[in-house]
Amino acid sequence: MIPVAEALARVLALARPPGVEEVPLARAAGRVLAEPVTATRDQPPFDAAAMDGYAVAGDPAPGTRFRVIGMAQAGAAYPGRVGQGEAVRIFTGAPLPRGAARVLIQEDMTAEGDHVTLGPAAEAATHIRPRGADFAAGHRLAPRRLRPADLALLAAMNVGRVPVHRRPVVALIATGDELVMPGEAPGPDQIVASNIFALRAMAQSEGAETRILPIARDRAEALAAVLRLAAGADVIVTVGGASVGDHDLVGAVAAGMGMERAFYKIAMRPGKPLMAGRLGDSVLLGLPGNPVSAIVCGHLFLLPLLRAMQGLPPGPDPRRAVLARALPPNGPRAHYMRARLIPGAGLPQIDPYDDQDSARLVLLADADALLIRPPGDPARAAGAEMDWLAL
């Protein structure tokens, strides 16, 4: 059994970036930018009016009267120059006419015919957005997962095609004679395959493309056939058949197909029988079958692997909370305890469930967090500060 941190390091060492592709901006949401992108223009590209009103020269005193000599609107500049005693009717977003130093907002002006007069309590602001005030040519957006505002920024930078990391392809394989797919009719000795649906959603949330393969029955040839179907995936995730029972075939079958094993068994609860290695061009993650074990291993190993493959910090990043109740000493394996968070003024409180059975999906679905107890963690009093991971 190796420690969790070492297992994670070995999993990450298996990661190979799946490469870079260019996608249209309209399809770049949630993708990870692969290299810095540089603006080739200033925004705004000219000094622009920030309000509707009148563009004038100088810094006129209250009561000044102007002759309106023309109009500027967004998309159509006033071609001439504005001089003393003159004003150009202007609208938000319009280029500021030459000679203008301020935009007087229309609420401060009284209009009569082709003249306007500045009222007594004019606003001091110039209401001008200088050229390049948002960004100048050369502004760089650094690699990151693209959020909606990033897409608007790239659009404003006039970047129509975006270099992004290719989505890792994840093949998910449930193993076991006892399993049927949701919606099928389970026999009397059967249950419904569940955890692969959580793993699939988790992988998709990290930008992966996922394929759920047929359930592999508990015979070596059947498992080998499904593993062959997974060829070409960047990551193959098997669930179940990882432990020491007579029907736990994943390690032996994958080894027979040439898997180079990185490790088998980790000092972690749940998740002890985790294995990882390289099978052909794929990283193979062999997760334990218990629903909670598989999903917790997904948070701790699959998601960091997918993030690393896309050039992101792998995480997971623990946060701090205070224990809502006392805990006895922990054993030799790190324990990732399902827990509820109770928000408070400072750090939240964290309250682990009494029942930490790795088959309890109801509790996992109810939980907010995994409370982390390191191997050999001593007894803890209520109020102790602890690390946790978000679910």
Ligand X SMILES: Nc1nc2c(c(=O)[nH]1)N[C@H]1C(S)=C(S)[C@@H](COP(=O)(O)OP(=O)(O)OC[C@H]3O[C@@H](n4cnc5c(N)ncnc54)[C@H](O)[C@@H]3O)O[C@H]1N2
Residue with tokens 């109801």: 362
Residues 218-247 that bind ligand X (CB under 6 A): 239-245
Confirm or reject binding of residue 288 to ligand MOO (CB under 6 A).
Answer: yes
Nearer to ligand MOO, 167 or 335 (CB): 335
Name the token pair of 81.
């120059």
Query: With contact defined as beta carbons under 8 Å apart, do 176 and 248 qualify?
Result: no
Minimum CB separation of residue 375 from ligand MOO in Å reads 13
Minimum CB separation of residue 297 from ligand MOO in Å reads 8
CA 133-139-141 angle, 5° bins: 120
- Compute the Cα dihedral for 220, 222, 225, 227 and give only its sign: negative
Minimum CB separation of residue 354 from ligand X in Å reads 19
Q: Mask of contacts with ligand X, 273-292, x by CB under 6 A?
A: x--------------xxxx-
Confirm or reject binding of residue 193 to ligand X (CB under 6 A).
Answer: yes
- Compute the Cα dihedral for 277, 281, 287, 292 and give only its sign: positive
Minimum CB separation of residue 261 from ligand MOO in Å reads 18
Name the one range near ligand MOO by CB under 6 A: 24-32, 138-146, 269-277, 310-318. 269-277
Contacts of 374 (CB under 8 A, 6+ apart): 330, 334
3-state DSSP call for residue 193?
coil
Helix (H) or strand (E) holding 233: none
Amino acid (one-letter) located at 158:
N
Name the one range near ligand MOO by CB under 6 A: 42-50, 103-111, 227-235, 267-275. 267-275
Nearer to ligand MOO, 1 or 20 (CB): 1
Among 126, 290, 310, 330, binds ligand MOO (CB under 6 A): 290
Minimum CB separation of residue 363 from ligand X in Å reads 15
109-112, strands of its sheet edge to edge:
102-105, 53-56, 86-90, 65-72, 115-118, 109-112
Nearer to ligand MOO, 117 or 243 (CB): 243
Output DSSP code: residue 145: B
Confirm or reject binding of residue 265 to ligand MOO (CB under 6 A).
Answer: no
Q: Cα separations (Å) of 386 from 6, 139, 246, 332, 336?
A: 21, 41, 39, 18, 12
Confirm or reject binding of residue 298 to ligand MOO (CB under 6 A).
Answer: no
Name the token pair of 220.
């070596």
Nearer to ligand X, 270 or 352 (CB): 270
Minimum CB separation of residue 168 from ligand MOO in Å reads 24
Residue ranges that bind ligand MOO, judged by CB under 6 A: 269-272, 288, 290, 293, 358
